[in-house]
Amino acid sequence: MRALTLLSVLLLSLPSAAAAHPELTGDPDHDHDALHHGGLADRDASDALEAHDHEAAQIISDGPTGRRIKDMVVAGRGDRLVADATTDVWALGRYAYIGTFNEPCGTGENFVDGVGEVDLVDGVEEPGIVVFDVHNKNKVTYVGNLPSVEGSRTNDVKVAEMNSGTILVHSNEACAGGPGGFEIYEMSDPENPVHLASVRIDELNPISDLLFGGLTDVGVHNLWLFTQGDRDYVAAVSEGAFDNFRVYDITDPSAPELAAAWGAEELFDPGVGELTEVTDENVDRVLAAALDLIEGGFGASPNKFLHDITVSEDGTAAYLSNWDAGLVLLDLSDLAGLDGVTLPNERIVSVALDPEDGSLDGEVNSHAAWPSEDGSIVVETEEDFSAWEVLTPPSNLTLDGTATPGDPTIPATAVSTSAGDFFEANPTGLTGSTDGSTVVVDGGPTFPAIELSTAAGSPTFEDTGTVSGELVWLGRACTLTGGDTLMNTDAFDESDIAVVRRGACEFQEKADAAASLGASAVIIANNVNESTPWGGVRIWDYSDPENPVLASTFDTTCSAAATPIEGCDPAGTYSVHNVIVETRGGTTFAYLSWYWDGMVVLDVTDPYEPVEVARFFDNSPAFIAGNGGNPHNFWGVYKLENQPFVYGSDRNGGLYVFKLTGRGPGT
């Protein structure tokens, strides 16, 4: 049972793909009134901008504003000026909907548990699904919030016309101990919604459930609504262990029923998900498959859990963005004929996976995907937060609180990789200070840092305040378990600040070694010496769905940079996020939300030569002032079919309505 206990701890300690969104902060953005009323909405961008040079710019765009042939300007917006609060966006008819991240966490105000009419919550900055009237694109009007479930966040939202009516679903993930699953609403009158059902999701496989101590009421990160004939379905991303892909029959939306399930464990060991009898052999197989899901992938986040789902318009093909398992295409035809639980592995049409050529740093991180109308092209996004590590301090580090008896105890903080290299190259003669969150070198750089927490033993910087003094490099400082000799002790005076290299022994041992010299604080420098780019776009040729071919990749200048470069804010997040693909007039476009890089439009008609045709990017002080003092940080994208309007959800600013202008393709 020891192995099972360790695995349970490991699963709980590692983030799944569905939890791969850290709390982010920001810094540049835009004043929509100045843009719109200044006449830019009517400007013909093609008069002033050259067409793309395919030789020079077909893969990596030229700078934050890109080289484009159309303009993407703000037509209107729905302000929600709460930093890091807004998630996905979806729309239907005259209404648009945005979700809420961890904060503000769900309060339960006006929530109806069961079937019943719902009163909207009044407060655009409150939790829940925020509803805007977007009939007039230039004058977006706040309507109210669908109630949140107490203790849960409403991350994803989808709404569609179904056989049973206008149906909205939103996901639940716990943010203060609340439930997971998803909620179903009837929205024929969005200002008077009717709650129809709550769905809670448990682990299906009895062996995986046993191994992980019972996985009940797990979170849902993303959803998709679709129909097959006269039947309605919702697909959900379960945050359990096995069977991450769930399909529910909601033909009667007040009584949803599980129709089918599947998980990437089947790619590792076909049939492992169907094992139910608890035998040594079966437990070993399930355990091996679970370990592969947790750590069998690539790079810094090697899990293979499902992150997102897109289902084809006819409801027969599901594109599963399965993080490091790749992009899985499943045959969903004739769901009504299945047994209600397991999709047979014969339904796997293909797996698109190319870590070597499909990513600048060997990651996969299949985050979201969208097929063209005929299914011959699929655009996939790679979300990657393990970038620019040289400027990023480590996270969630702790001392064990058991300093050697008799030794003084000191506060500890950890800094980024580049700081460690800097101090090792300048071992003595420096002075500076630290308050735990930054390390300042007098006359030199300032490094971001994170204080090492402890339950007992060492004081915190809150106790000591800012600590100042000489900064002396001691080396690795593993004097007990590693046999290290402390460096530069002849230059070390009592109350100096010790700087040590991370690795080879516990943090507490390093702090004890520094404390034994009389140090006033210890700075621990990370031991990773390389940095990597952010995540970009993969464009697949699905002419033969059973054998997809990686046609090309696309990265912005900032997302392709291994370290911050001119024009790319060191504090920024430059990973791509979500995508929608639309074909208009014979041209196929991919609309992308790209965090700090803004909103990007690619012409992918020739998947082997993608061309950036438009981008919204505004780093101006006016924009930041109008965005609550924060930069744009775009999470979600929604495209109005056959119209020049695109919706973007900004984590910091709420809802943006963009208009594509200019005489380029797709006008």
Domains detected in the chain = 2-388+533-661 (2.130.10.10), 389-525 (no CATH)
Tokens of residue 447, six digits: 């490094």
Report d(CA 590, CA 607) in Å as an integer: 11
Q: Is the pLDDT of residue 150 over 60?
A: yes
CA dihedral sign of residues 223, 226, 230, 231? negative
Least confident range from 258-272, 409-423, 491-505: namely 409-423
β-strand partners of 468: 433
Say which amino acid occupies 172: N
Contact predicate 640/646, CB 8 Å: yes
Q: State the pLDDT confidence band at 67, using cuts at 50, 70 and 90.
A: low
The predicted structure's pLDDT at residue 8: 39
Report d(CA 492, CA 474) in Å as an integer: 9
Least confident range from 250-264, 310-324, 432-446, 595-609: namely 432-446
Least confident range from 8-22, 65-79, 160-174: namely 8-22
Q: State the pLDDT confidence band at 390, using cuts at 50, 70 and 90.
A: low
What does each C-alpha distance from 269 to 244, 262, 263, 287, 559 come to in angstroms? 15, 13, 11, 11, 35
DSSP-assigned letters across all residues of 26-90 = ------HHHHHHTTGGG--HHHHSPPP-HHHHSSB-SSTT---SSEEEEEEEEE---TT-EEEEE
CA dihedral sign of residues 606, 611, 615, 617? positive
Contact predicate 86/100, CB 8 Å: yes
DSSP-assigned letters across all residues of 563-585 = S--TTS-TT-------EEEEEET
Query: Which whole number is the average pLDDT over 608-625?
Result: 93
Contact predicate 61/599, CB 8 Å: no
The predicted structure's pLDDT at residue 451: 87
Query: Which whole number is the average pLDDT over 256-277?
Result: 96
pLDDT in tens, 360-373: 989 999 999 999 99
Q: Is the pLDDT of residue 124 over 50?
A: yes
Report d(CA 191, CA 119) in Å as an integer: 8
Query: Which whole number is the average pLDDT over 442-468?
Result: 80
* pTM metric for this prediction: 0.79
DSSP-assigned letters across all residues of 404-431 = PTTS----EEEE-HHHHHHHHHS-SSEE
Tokens of residue 114, six digits: 């069961």
The predicted structure's pLDDT at residue 40: 22
- 281's CB contacts (< 8 A; 6+ apart) are none
